[in-house]
Amino acid sequence: MGERWILDGNFLALEGDDPRFDRADTVIFLDVPRLVCMWRVLWRLVRDRRRRRPDLPEGCSEGLDLPLLRWIWRYPRTDRPRVLEILSGLDPHVDVRRLSSRSDVRRYLDTLPRG
């Protein structure tokens, strides 16, 4: 089996085509409603207060700031259309999965091989 990796994050800041998509065989787009995103940010803030989250890199801490909340609130009308456009223009060999609920994620995970 060849090299395998997972990439996550926001790729919209890159100008032009993102070369990472050239090597991708699957793209998973978590397209959840803004209120769900807001709730999850606030919940993590309360849940993890005064503790370091184990899934964050060293030196990073959970935080809440107005720019983050503003970005989440504006995302559906500013960034989401650009993401959908980019995903629709990907090479046909790329399997694009748009998951918009916890049950969508569970169903997708159930299709993956274990081990």
- Tens of pLDDT, residues 57-108: 887 776 778 888 999 999 999 999 988 988 898 889 889 999 999 999 999 9
Beta carbons of 87 and 96 less than 8 angstroms apart: yes
Beta carbons of 27 and 99 less than 8 angstroms apart: no
Beta carbons of 36 and 73 less than 8 angstroms apart: no
Question: What is the reported pTM?
Answer: 0.79
